[in-house]
Amino acid sequence: MQSDYYYKMIANIFNIKKVSAVIAVLVLYTAFSVTLAQAAATEKITTIGQSAIIDGNTVVAREKAIKNAMKKAVESAVKRLASSATILDNFQVIKEKIYSKSNSYIKSFNVTSVTDEVTLFIVTIDAEVRFDDIKKDLIAANILSVKKDLPKFIMFVAEKDVDSEGYKFWWGKEKAVPPVLTVENEISMRFTEQGFASVDRSAALKKSRVNPDYDSDDLKDSSATDLIRQTSAEIIIIGKALATVLGTIDGSEMKSVLGTINARVIDRTGKVISLESASAKILHVNAKVGGDEALKKASSILADKLIEAVKSEFGAEATESQLITLKLSGLTYKRFRDFVDILKHDIRGVSNITQESFTSGGVAKMTVQVKGGAEFLTKELLKRDFPSLDTQVISTTSSLIEITIKSKFNPDDLRSISDDEEQKTE
């Protein structure tokens, strides 16, 4: 009996220790998770604050200068989260709801330099700013809008390249290995980049094989809505894409190829959300390659139109504009102007372009408002192929992008030089 008593006592002690160990691990894990969450929600901002020195009291002046620097750090964070127009229109609300409690948004700070002048105290600080808290308060004050969920999509776009006898499409009979289609790939990529999700289309493919009404390159809306009910998709993109050779450029082997796409977006009920078309021309020695490039370019144009229409229909507005600094190198003034034109006309969501400096060494600094921020602009610059410029992103942060710019080789430039030389000889 006594041995049983001691045995139970030892077992209880062991269990207590085991439970304590588990609790300790959970506490450490929770603390680690909270630390990671806090780290992800903050960002370092460097600012300068100042305050007047009154009656020689540098202690009070230092405290006020630090508070001034903190306020500027929060102001800088707000500028990254909201557009200049939004801040201006809601300045009084932002002042009362955000700026009045600037200190609460500073997780920590470090004074990196101090200047004690006769009448002015100046400090520089590195502040860890709680961006997520500022964003939540801006949303609560109805200054920023909450980004809504975007609908899932499925695509039914038939495609005919310059070598094909008929249209290719992935649905319908005898599609054991669905073809890889340029247009669907490009539009799908653009949609997913904007936050849309594509759905598994295997169920729709299975049903399309058993009904002859679905085995057509010109799919009817009723057939498409019937197929979409086999999936979780909320919208359907239906269309046809065609690449045609317009002719050969005189005196060369270059072929002019046109890519044309007509498409519409409908929802599960058959309601037409958008009806759009796009086209693009490409010069290439290989007609097939040129056709694919023309369709790809037209797809990019069309996708932007469809995305805008779908977001408008579903109330999913783009995120607020953020102020981004661009540091450009490798410039001539012409390259600089060409780059500004690209920002204005070729990239969505860019506004308020302001040149800050341009040096004789070919380095310029400018600020722009960008919907989606630095990450969006960086992706646009990386994936786009601009006719006259080669843009290389060197580095990027949430507020600064460094870019090297080069001119692309253009045969027309050589022709113009040659023509000038001939005129001089004559």
pTM here is 0.46
For the ranges 13-22, 296-305, 348-357, which has the lowest average pLDDT? Answer: 13-22
Phi, psi of 377 (to 5 degrees): -65, -40
- 99-107 average pLDDT score: 92
- For residue 416, the model assigns a pLDDT of 37
Most distant CA pair in the chain: distance in Å?
123
Chain-centroid distance of CA 253 in Å reads 39
- For residue 174, the model assigns a pLDDT of 61
- Find out if CATH 3.30.1660.40 is the number for domain 41-140: yes
153-313 and 41-140 share a CATH fold = no
pLDDT at 44 over 60: yes
Phi, psi of 293 (to 5 degrees): -65, -40
SS3 177: coil
Tens-place pLDDT, residues 247-289:
998 888 899 999 999 999 998 888 899 999 999 999 999 999 9
- 390-408 average pLDDT score: 87
- What radius of gyration do the chain's Cα atoms show? 30
Q: Which is more confident, 398 or 410? A: 398
Across 272-335, where does the E strand assignment appear? Answer: 272-284, 321-329
- For residue 193, the model assigns a pLDDT of 83
Summary mean pLDDT of the chain: 80
pLDDT at 67 over 80: yes
Q: Which of 156-160, 173-177, 251-255, 267-271 has the highest mean pLDDT?
A: 156-160
Neighbours of 64 (CB within 10 A): 18
CA distance 327 to 92: 33
Q: Which of 201, 151, 193, 182 is nearest to 261 (CA)?
A: 182
For the ranges 138-147, 258-267, 268-277, 411-420, which has the lowest average pLDDT? Answer: 411-420
Neighbours of 26 (CB within 10 A): 10
- For residue 40, the model assigns a pLDDT of 41
- 362-375 average pLDDT score: 85
What phi-psi label fits residue 338: left (phi over 0), alpha (psi between -120 and 50 degrees) or beta?
alpha
Given the candidates 3.90.870.10, 3.30.499.10, 3.20.20.10, 3.30.160.150, the CATH classification of the domain at 153-313 is 3.30.160.150
Q: How far is CA 380 from CA 189, 198, 326, 350, 392, in A?
A: 13, 21, 14, 11, 12
- For residue 418, the model assigns a pLDDT of 39
DSSP string, 201-252: -HHHHHHHTT-GGG--SS--HHHHHHHHTTSS-SEEEEEEEEEEEEEE-TTS
For the ranges 35-44, 163-172, 373-382, which has the lowest average pLDDT? Answer: 35-44
- 56-81 average pLDDT score: 91
Tens-place pLDDT, residues 372-396:
778 888 888 887 777 778 889 999 8
- For residue 320, the model assigns a pLDDT of 58
Q: Model confidence at 147, in pLDDT bands (50, 70, 90)?
A: low
Handedness of CA 23, 26, 31, 34 (dihedral sign): negative
Taking the domains of the chain in order of start, what are their residue ranges? 41-140, 153-313, 321-411
- 73-102 average pLDDT score: 86
pLDDT at 343 over 90: no
